[in-house]
Amino acid sequence: MGLEFLLGVGVVTALNTVLALLLVLAERFLADYGPCTLALNGEKKITVAGGRDLLATLKDQGVFIPSACGGRGSCGLCKVTVLNGGAPLATELPWLKPDEIARHIRLACQVRVKHDLSLQLPPQWLEIRQYRTTVSSLRDLTHDIKEVRLRLVDPPEIEFKAGQFIQFEVPPYERSDETVYRAYSIASPPSAKNEIELEIRYVPNGICTTYVHRHLRLGDPVTINGPYGDFTLRPGEREIIAIAGGSGMAPLKSILLDMAEKEIARRIRYFFGARALRDLFLLEEMKTLEQRIPGFEFIPALSKPDPMDAWNGETGLVTDVAARYLPDASEAEAYLCGSSFLIQAAIKMLTSKGMPRERIYFDDFG
């Protein structure tokens, strides 16, 4: 009896040992793809351990590719050109147009790194990082715009250009069961590297804005990634016309602070549209900036000031007010930020004043 018992245990142990050994050997010889070299845009070369998907592999190397689903192949955002990666998998096809397939575009989360790969991605992606931050201040600017300051924890500093935006990671909460990302412009100047400021306007039922307005508390951790975008001040001497409304204040505030710090003394007129005095914010900051930048003038326009406001500034739609100030805009350049309707109306107004379309810059939120 004892012997039979020992035999049984011995055989099961031996069998499982053999099988485990087989798996270890397989792991060693089949699953080990060795070091692979990833060539980024033909210049930067990084050596990584093969075997995992490209999205995760690059993320470990600090190359952050926009992705909203976390690598499950369900958002279709992590598109990169893989010159020698083979044909796309069936899981990628719904996200790729025929011309993208022809250009060797793949979803990074579906490409397994098994050999050296030659990749092409937008150069600014190489600058994008993920940052862990904590909420260091929350302030109501108006009844529906919140100022959120995020102190950077890891990495502790961010490099960006005034006017760029970041993506804000919203963790799953009662209104959404997935991590989602929303883009917000940075309102603070690039010189403040360890803390960024955002101005977030409440969007009815919006997943991120509801989270920020109703759930976010001081000290909460927030993950962001960025910077993105090319809504930045173009060098030169041209006069600047800025037109914004609502949360469109943020990138322009960053640009203005940057100009003040760098003592760029260009003529700049900033038209800001709101309904009544209670919708205007940062008036003191703008007044200070007018003193710091010699050519700067802040011109708020109220479309319907309250009788209580005792408003003696400009009234009317911001584009109409700006039109009254600008008999000829052909030599100036313009920076627009706000609702897509504001941008459309402003483009129409500016081009009618002779401004060439290519000198009108705005964040394309469409």
Partner 1 sequence: MIAAFSSWFALFFSAVFTQNILLTNYLGMCPFLGASRELKTSFGLGAAVVLVMTFTTPLNWLLYHSILLPLGLEYLALIAFISLIAAFTQLTELVIMRVSDSLHAALGIFLPLITVNCAILGASLFMVARRYSFLQTTAYGLGGGLGWMLALLAMAGIRQRIAKNRLPRGLEGAGIALIIAGIMAMAFTAFTGMATPA
Partner 2 sequence: MKQPPNLQEIQEAMRPGRLSQTGFLGTDPRPLGDILAEDDATVRRLGLSHEALADRMAYFREKGVAGLGVPVDVPPHFEVRVDGVRGRMPCPFRHPGLYPKVFCQVKNLRTRETITFSDLQIHMIGAHGFYEGRGSAYRLEPETLIRVLEVSPAESSFNTPLHEAPGGAPSDSPRE
Token pair for 271: 């038209």
Which of 57/319 has CB closer to partner 2?
Answer: 319
Choose, by CB under 8 A, the member of 1, 2, 30, 143 that binds partner 1: 30
Among 192, 189, 185, 195, which Cα is nearest to 145's? 185
**The only residue of 6, 15, 83, 283 in contact with partner 1, by rule CB under 8 A:** 15
Query: Quick check: 12 binds partner 1 (CB under 8 A)?
Result: yes
Q: Supply the minimum distance, in Å, between the C-beta of residue 122 and partner 1.
A: 25
What does 331 interact with, of partner 1, partner 2, none (CB < 5 to 8 A by kind)?
none
Q: Where are the alpha helices (DSSP H) in the chain?
A: 2-29, 54-60, 98-102, 207-210, 249-262, 283-292, 318-325, 340-352
Q: Kindly state the tokens that stand for 17.
A: 């040992």
Q: Quick count: other Cβ atoms within 10 Å of Cβ 34?
A: 9
Give which of partner 1, partner 2, none residue 195 binds (C-beta under 5 to 8 Å, depending on kind): none
Spatial CA neighbour of 167 closest among 202, 194, 130: 130
Instruction: Name the nearest CA neighbour of 320 among 356, 350, 363.
Output: 350
Which amino acid is residue 327, in one-letter code? Answer: P
Q: Does 87 bind partner 1 (CB under 8 A)?
A: yes
- Out of 6, 20, 218, 283, the residue judged to bind partner 1 by CB under 8 A: 20
Longest distance between any two alpha carbons in the chain, whole Å: 107
CB of 80 to partner 1, least distance (A): 16
**What span, in angstroms and rounded, lies between the C-alpha atoms of 171 and 150?**
16
Q: Which residues bind partner 2 (CB under 8 A)?
A: 74, 175-178, 180, 182-183, 203-207, 245-246, 273-275, 279, 303-304, 317-319, 338-342, 345, 365-366
Q: By CB under 8 A, is residue 112 in contact with partner 1? A: yes
Q: Does 353 bind partner 1 (CB under 8 A)?
A: no
Binding positions for partner 1, rule: CB under 8 A:
4, 7-8, 11-12, 15-16, 19-20, 22-23, 26-27, 30-31, 86-87, 89-91, 110, 112, 114
